[in-house]
Amino acid sequence: MLKSTLTILITLAAGISAQAYAACNPGPNEVALFQHSNYRGICSVLPVGDYPDSRAMLMPNDSVSSIKIGKNVEIQVHNHSSRGNTSKFDKFISGGGSKSSGFVYQNFSKSQASLSGTRIGNDRISAVYVFYPKAEYDFKRGDCYPGDNSISIAIYQHSGFTGNCRLLDLGTYSNSKEMRFKNDSASSVEIGKNSKVYVELYSDSNFRGRKDTLRNSKAFLATGAVGDNKLTSIKVLRK
């Protein structure tokens, strides 16, 4: 009885549902996070999606020591919460971060019985992103594939859907700051298979200047009206 009471009190103190203590066996499109190595302790199961802080992850901050990964998905783990730090998270791919900057992330495609010795390290995860790997899609060309049947698009630093990238959801972005992407630096735009959106690109802020409308991916913006390294504002619109 005492042990059961302590378990409940610890669970409530951590802000986690009691269900998190149940055995966590992820399905093919899910991952499970565990407090201790070898898949022990407090755990939570997460489907595909963004989990920008420990509350969303249903785990205490900096507490994950092992990860189980379903056969259809991968996970990107971060050592900082995205809350108040969005330029470093939200699927912004820029080389894994560095210890000098204090920001580190790492991708895993296979279960990890212990995070000790990995780049991210043990008890250092504050945010995660669970996603389908590129190999699951007809498009296999970038680290920010927006997904099939989605309302997102991706902009890339280089042609051919390579380099730093940024996912933009349905909405309008009047300048590079709102896009959270360096101004005049985009060279390609990717739109997912059977996408529910199309894109209007503009060479100037506030949707002015040269305009290009895309309903399919464009591997090199130099061949369009806006041009290479000229994109400053963008509209992601529902079809």
pLDDT digits 0-9 by tens, 66-104:
999 999 888 888 887 544 333 333 343 334 444 434 567
Asked if residues 227 and 168 have their Cβ atoms less than 8 Å apart, the reply is no
Mean pLDDT over all residues of the chain?
78
- In order of their start, the domains of the chain are 2-132 (2.60.20.10), 138-238 (2.60.20.10)
pTM of the predicted model as reported, rounded to 2 decimal places: 0.48
Asked if residues 79 and 56 have their Cβ atoms less than 8 Å apart, the reply is no
Shortest CA distance to 92 belongs to which of 24, 158, 143? 143
- Taking the C-alpha atoms of residue 185 and residue 17, their distance in angstroms, rounded to an integer, is 44
Confidence of residue 175 (pLDDT cuts 50, 70, 90): very high
